[in-house]
Structure 1
Amino acid sequence: MKPRLLAIVPDPDGAFAQAGGVLSATRAVLGPEVHAVFDVDIVDTTMRAFPRPDLRERVTSGAGRGAAVLRSIAHRRPQVAIAFCSEGTSFYEKSALLLLARAAGARTWLSPRSGRAEAWLERSARARRWVTHVGHKLDGLLVQSEGWREVYARAGVPRERLHIWHNTVDTRIWQPIASARRPAPPERPFRFLFLGWAIEAKGLRELCAAVETLEARSGPQFQLAIAGDGALGETLREQAAEGRLPRSIELLGWVKGDRRADELARADALVLPTHVDGFPNVVLEAMACALPVIATPVGAIPDVVLPEETGLLIPTRDVGSLVEAMDRLRHHPEEAAAMGQRGLARARARFDRTVGVARLLELLLGEQDREGAPGMNTMTLGEEPRSQGAGE
């Protein structure tokens, strides 16, 4: 009989689902490999991002999730529980639900996935105390990179309970685009792609300023396609209608499915000058498409993008550095393509979905750090399911 897994995660097929790292990780948790090992109960935590839900809606949704978790604990008695959270209220809620599951005998794993968690911990002593408490009670925190491991270690979580679980990408899906990748020919503009939420925190204002500066410079023609929407999207559309947006910028709005693939295929480089981030999955998608990446060294990005090898890292909010990075790639398309090929190799070796799922099963089934791990109940999990998990 399979052990039971309680997954407190967003539903990737839910009404408010968007592309991104959290839903990519959810698809790993809810994928066929995990279902082959576990009997999975799902408590959907998806909520819309825009417009932001009011307090009443958030409280009602939270109460519904709490009731669903209590029903699962009472009637299904899960042996393992995992939850995804962001900072603030989300962290408090999901960790509290896991503490209930742990009190009922489950192994418990919390995966914080917010780019704003470091600032939250720095400004709130209450947050640090709670994170320390949770870090000593739960079986482990699944963090997205070495950098995030340091953030939670500084907050008081024992290092032995901090386990790195990277976001992943199914590189096979993007293989046709990667195989067709060639350096940008001189007869067409070098095409940069921004793909993500159209919000201030993603560095879009700096990116638009960089494009304006580049247009005033001599050099090869270029374009910037902005694919995404959000609070800043309407402002950019108004500027475009009034002729105040640089002429090299093309606003695409949301792109999904085949359109998303088409834009990744048309691009020559991804540019993401984000101010804060957890682990932007678009970076992995770009690398799987053999695109070089211009990004900022925030969140897990330094674990993914190797400067001068698979892309260029620039300081946050630094328009001048962004201009120089974009100018370099448009002048040297062969160098850009070579970075993209090295990024493709790195994505396949370290961030492919098969690697991530194997790591997840290793942790959920207790194959890693068995000695001294608190709350380990190997008799409950049983030998047969554990033998199906992927080890190192």
Structure 2
Amino acid sequence: MPKKKRILFVGSFKKSNTVKGGQNTASILLEKALKSHYKVIKIDSTMISIPPPNLFIRAFFAMKRIVFFLFLAPTCKSIIIFSADGLSFIEKGLMAIIGKLLMRNVIFCPRSGYLLEQLDKSILLKMYLKIIGFFSNHIVCQSQFWKDQFSRHGLKYEKLIVINNWIDIKLNNKEILNNSPIKVLYLGWITREKGIFDLIAAAQKVPSMKFIFYICGDGKDINKIRDKIESSGKNNIILKGWISGDEKLNLFKSCDAFIFPSHSEGFPNAILEAMMHKLSIVASDTTSLPDIIQHKKNGLLFAAKNIKDLEDTILLLDNFKLRKEMTENAYNQLEKRFSVKSAKQKFMRIL
């Protein structure tokens, strides 16, 4: 049997009670796509706590990872680097530069929706992005939107490879029913940037007899959201806090729609997971979301930060014929556009 090619993979892999979030794209890619073809060496960059520790502790762990990287990179032919924004972007960018200086095949994968805002505010960060682009063999973009944005910031178009985010798709025989009231699920961080205040404001205005909203998650603004819900006097807005395991699965099974009002996103796997569970999607039109959702085709889009438009869009869910058609279209597109199998094929072309 031929010896497997060695790959160094830098990303977040740990599953922990303290680190919350959606499906981990790095772990899925590793377990479902790469392990059977390559000898994969991991450097885990999972945050040790939420909220993040202080700057000194983060810098210590970053330096520790860079030391490991210096020892491991020369032993591998290719390097995959998953990066977030802020300090993660600086650390992972340095790894990309080192990797190329060591004559490795460097595949850099920025994943954060907040990166664009940071780039627009910082000339130094824009310059750093161009340096990373120069030293990387490929920049993996989560959608066409991100490819266009990175090109706008000066990266070479031919280095930019679109690989849509992926999930491990499971067969779902759930029947789409005309339930009343319509159960709408929010699952994510409870922070202003995720549009949760917009959602609560819109939910208070739609008929309470027609819609029930389940707000699931945690974050810095959870107490403010709890106060808003309690002061509204509405009994159709239910704050459940963070959920996981069977409780999360049961809500996916019992709800009819999934709402994602974020102000800025990389490429949210939560939407793909909701599609797999046959929930109708309502999402803001920010960043990459229009690359996933085509309005009234496989979901509904509304203008980000526009509460009235969000309210009107929620009301469209009351049209069962439209909702059923959109949900079926979204589910049927998953395998072709957002499966780990599709991502695997594209990664193997550049490894």
Change beyond 3 A, Cα 1:32–1:51: closer
Give 1:15 deviation, angstroms: 5.8
- TM-score of the superposed pair, with normalisation by structure 2: 0.94
2:175 to 181, 191, 195: 181
Is 1:354–2:348 an aligned residue pair?
no
Cα distance in 1, alignment partners of residues 284 and 197 from structure 2: 14
Which whole-Å deviations, capped at 9, do the CAs of 1:212-262 have from their partners, x for residues lacking one? 11147xxx521000111111222223445x544532101111111222111
Work out whether residues 291 and 339 of structure 1, in 8 Å CA contact, stay in contact via their aligned partners in 2. Answer: no
Larger radius of gyration: 1
Cα distance in 1, alignment partners of residues 10 and 296 from structure 2: 39
Give 1:265 deviation, angstroms: 1.1
- TM-score of the superposed pair, with normalisation by structure 1: 0.85
RMSD of aligned alpha carbons: 1.7
Matched letter for residue 326 of structure 2: M
Work out whether residues 310 and 342 of structure 1, in 8 Å CA contact, stay in contact via their aligned partners in 2. Answer: yes
Change beyond 3 A, Cα 1:39–1:245: farther
Aligned to 2:294: 306
Cα distance in 1, alignment partners of residues 32 and 203 from structure 2: 44
Which SS does the other structure have where 1:163 is aligned?
strand
How many residue pairs get aligned? The number is 349
Aligned to 1:10: 12
Cα distance in 2, alignment partners of residues 184 and 201 from structure 1: 32
Aligned to 2:121: 123
Matched letter for residue 216 of structure 2: A
Matched letter for residue 27 of structure 1: S
Is 1:93–2:91 an aligned residue pair?
yes
Aligned to 2:70: 70
Aligned to 2:192: 200
Work out whether residues 33 and 340 of structure 2, in 8 Å CA contact, stay in contact via their aligned partners in 1. Answer: no
Q: How does 1:155-174 map to 2 (within 5 A)?
A: 155-172=153-170
Which SS does the other structure have where 1:250 is aligned?
strand
Is 1:246–2:234 an aligned residue pair?
yes
Higher mean displacement: 271-280 or 332-341: 332-341
Work out whether residues 291 and 343 of structure 1, in 8 Å CA contact, stay in contact via their aligned partners in 2. Answer: no
Cα distance in 1, alignment partners of residues 338 and 159 from structure 2: 22
Give 1:91 deviation, angstroms: 1.4
Cα distance in 2, alignment partners of residues 308 and 208 from structure 1: 23
Cα distance in 1, alignment partners of residues 17 and 305 from structure 2: 34
Change beyond 3 A, Cα 1:333–1:49: farther
Work out whether residues 296 and 322 of structure 2, in 8 Å CA contact, stay in contact via their aligned partners in 1. Answer: no
Q: How does 1:22-171 map to 2 (within 5 A)?
A: 23=24, 25-48=25-48, 50-73=50-73, 77-171=75-169
List 4+ stretches of structure 1 deviating above 3 A.
Answer: 14-17, 242-245
Identical aligned residues as a percent: 25
1:337 to 293, 308, 324: 324
Unaligned runs of 5+ in 1: 365-392
Cα distance in 1, alignment partners of residues 48 and 263 from structure 2: 22
Which whole-Å deviations, capped at 9, do the CAs of 1:276-300 have from their partners, x for residues lacking one? 1111111101111222211012222
Cα distance in 1, alignment partners of residues 212 and 14 from structure 2: 32
